[in-house]
Amino acid sequence: MTASPPTAVPFFPPTLFEADRPALLGLLREVGLDPEQRFILGSRTAAFEELLRADLGAADVVACSSGTSALSLILWAMDIGPGDEVIVPAFGCAPLASSVVTVGATPVFADIRPDTMTMDPDAAERLVTERTKAVLPAHMFSVMADMPRFAALTERHGLRLLEDSAVAQGGVLRGVPAGLWGEAGVYSFVQVKTCGMPGEGGVVITRDAALGERVRMLRNHGQHAGRRFVHHALGVNSRFDEIQAAFQTHRYAGFPARLARRAEIAAYYTERFTSLIDHGVTPPPPDQDGRCFYVYTVLADAREALAAHLAEHGVATHVYYPQPLPAQGAFAPYAPPGARWPGAEEAARRHLALPVHHLLTDAQVMRVADLVCAFATGHR
């Protein structure tokens, strides 16, 4: 094993859950020794769902096994399936398209805006056909999609609106939390997400109680709660773990402070990087509303060289999506021959994510900013 240099700035620290270790071990013991011996979908999961529901003002929150599964369950609960088209962004993570394919429907890829890297409402509207059933925008890195325009668009065409808000838990746009702009949205609790945990899980959030009820049934083999072995509909196993539910409940009070620290770091980066735009490094657009710093990305003309420069100095960076979704082998069958997505191609070529997690020290944040500035202005 080679030791990292003392100045290394990891993308995610190995100490992400260190402060909560005693609490987690205590909960493990508590759930393990509980006379109920209930390890999934018990009272702790119900309490966590209710905590989120009340905090968000949602009609229902349904915990399930992952953010990806949550997306598929929404589509399924909406009766979207074979013959239906769902408009998704051409840039983003695989579940955006794979969840649509999973229910037998067809993903239709709309280009993104080059500045926000979220789906362009005009591009999406041009793709509406009589087979279109739903529009699925995704919040990307730190910027919420243009939900007011997507809400107007889906209203105009009589389409369903769901939201891939997997990365945007804690984000609020015009007073509406991420996930509640559409009929339903999702949060992912994979460790790297804004409210991540040491394991796998997610939730469906919805303002439609009936939709929530359908998701609740589908996540557990089509059974209604409390009535085991009665299967009203085909379902899947997408259940939630009791220890993780207790742990998420325990950590929830600290979530706003962790998000605020990320936002503070992001504001500092943006302040430092705004002068770099003429030097080939562009920070995210500076607006405050609808921002949630899951990841801080710059767009860099010389992306590979910048990443190498930072790596040389012990700073880890990350390229999330090196290719637009329709250029991926898995989704190429859904890409019309000859079609292009210039916004997605540019984002894939230029985006670079910098460390923004809440445990970074001020010194580390300044060091990252100094290195980026030195690179861009040629003073390496």
Ligand X SMILES: *Cc1c(COP(=O)(O)O)cnc(C)c1O
Please report whether residue 167 would count as binding ligand X according to CB under 6 A: yes
What the block records as the tokens of 259 is: 């998000």
Q: Which is nearer to ligand X, 69 or 154 (CB)?
A: 69
What the block records as the tokens of 188 is: 């992912």
Query: Residues 42, 48, 59, 68: which binds ligand X (CB under 6 A)?
Result: 68
Please report whether residue 95 would count as binding ligand X according to CB under 6 A: yes
Map the footprint of ligand X across residues 119-158, applying CB under 6 A: 138
Query: Residues 64, 166, 205, 335: which binds ligand X (CB under 6 A)?
Result: 166
Total residue length of the chain: 380
Residue type, 315: V
Query: Taking contact as CB under 6 A, which single stretch among the options 30-38, 42-50, 66-74, 272-280 is the one that binds ligand X?
Result: 66-74
Please report whether residue 324 would count as binding ligand X according to CB under 6 A: no
Count of residues near ligand X by CB under 6 A: 13
Please report whether residue 67 would count as binding ligand X according to CB under 6 A: yes
Q: Helices 255-273 and 362-376 sit at what angle, rounded to 10 degrees?
A: 30
- Closest C-alpha among 27, 11, 330, 17 to residue 189: 17
Chain position carrying tokens 């939900």: 147
Decide the pairing of beta strands 60-64 and 202-206: antiparallel
Binding mask 216-235 for ligand X (x = CB under 6 A): --------------------
Map the footprint of ligand X across residues 341-370, applying CB under 6 A: none
Q: What CA–CA distance (Å, rounded) separates 295 from 314?
A: 19
E strand or H helix at 27, and its extent? helix 21-33
- Closest C-alpha among 189, 299, 166 to residue 249: 189
- Closest C-alpha among 183, 152, 173 to residue 60: 183
Query: Residues 202, 212, 290, 343: which binds ligand X (CB under 6 A)?
Result: 202
Number of Cβ within a 10 Å radius of residue 79: 11
Query: Residues 60, 84, 146, 164: which binds ligand X (CB under 6 A)?
Result: 164
Q: Which is nearer to ligand X, 56 or 325 (CB)?
A: 325
What the block records as the tokens of 313 is: 């100095």
Distance in Å, CB of 91 to ligand X, minimum:
10
E strand or H helix at 134, and its extent? strand 132-135
Q: Which is nearer to ligand X, 67 or 372 (CB)?
A: 67
Please report whether residue 190 would count as binding ligand X according to CB under 6 A: yes
The residue at minimum Cβ distance from ligand X is: 67
Please report whether residue 169 would count as binding ligand X according to CB under 6 A: no
Q: Which residues bind ligand X (CB under 6 A)?
A: 66-68, 92-93, 95, 138, 164, 166-167, 188, 190, 202
